[in-house]
Amino acid sequence: MEKITLELPLVGVKVLSDSVDGFEDVDVYHGVSYCDAVRLATFGEELLVKPGSIGVCKWAPAVLGLKTPENSFERSLLPRLGSVAGLYIAPLSRFPEGAPPDVVIVLGRPTQMKRVMEALGEGALQRAYYGEIAKTALRVVDRRFSLKVMLSYVSNRVMALLRRWKRFDDLIRAAMSTQVLTSGLERILKNTVADMSMCRNSTVIPLEEGAGNVSFFCVGGISWGGNLPANMTSGFPYKLIEGVHDRLEYPGKRDLPTPPTA
């Protein structure tokens, strides 16, 4: 079968539900957001994201189970993981034998995402959130014209331009570190453009649904994740990637880690 070429490495995410045993020697991430941690892993870093690791983004800790929801804003962030001890994030090529990831994040152009989805088959994609642009691009981009899709394209390109200025980055960090402003922005973004694109849409939804999901980038995915606005993000349960891995070509590719022995 024809190969599917991707420009960026695949990133694996392993949920450490009860403890971080076996991953104690991995560098603990301390930074602005989950999007940023995924960015670092895309370019080779091996990281452990724990409660308290994420210092600015107010969405990701609650969504990823790194923080118990304490207010109406955090309780409104759905779906979300239950409480976890941490998340191990690394290039797929760096996952140890016997400890494969739970989810694989794939970044690329819409045409590349389409080819990956075609290789997997429609039955491998989640259906619970069809048409909800905040959570997925599935059955959103199928429409001939969508104002929400156009808004996502425009807003992401604007964010990509603005992120070049340090003052704007400082402003975004200051604004997003406050609960009141974050909650207000969430009410504006909800069901208007992509929201929580990498933490919820590319990690939690694939885990919860046991199926793949594709999403436009959110504000954080562009400004903190450093992603190109022309690209999209997606997440797939590891077993799905296993089935098409032979067809994928990407930087640093090697044999997949074997599952743990019984």
Q: Which of 104, 112, 95, 119 is nearest to 254 (CA)?
A: 95
Q: CA 180, 185, 187, 188 torsion: positive or negative?
A: positive
pLDDT of residue 189: 62
- Residue-level pLDDT at 97: 87
CB atoms closer than 10 angstroms to residue 142? 10
pLDDT at position 156 is 72
pLDDT at 142 over 60: no
Residue 179 in this model has a pLDDT that exceeds 90: no
pLDDT in tens, 106-119: 999 999 999 999 99
Q: How far apart are CA 63 and CA 27, in angstroms?
A: 22
- pLDDT above 60 (res 146): yes
**Which range, of 5-9, 101-105, 145-149, 191-195, averages the lowest pLDDT?**
145-149
pLDDT of residue 152: 72
Which residue has tokens 């296993």?
242
pLDDT digits (tens, 9 = 90+) for 77-95: 999 999 999 999 999 999 9
- Binned at pLDDT 50, 70 and 90, residue 252 comes out as very high
Identify the pLDDT of residue 81: 98
Cβ neighbours for 21, distance < 8 A, ≥ 6 positions apart: none
pLDDT band at 261 (very low <50, low <70, confident <90, very high): low
Please give the model's pTM, rounded to 2 decimal places: 0.88
Distant-in-sequence, close-in-space partners of 22: CB < 8 Å, separation ≥ 6? 99
Mean pLDDT (whole number) for 131-151 = 74
Give backbone dihedrals phi and psi of 167, rounded to 5 degrees, phi first: -60, -40
pLDDT number for residue 148? 65
Average pLDDT, the chain: 88
Comparison of pLDDT for 149 and 247, the residue scoring more: 247
Q: Which residues of 192-224 are buried (b: 16+ CB within 10 A; e: fewer)?
A: ebbbbbbbbbbbbbbbbbebbbbbbbbbbbbbb
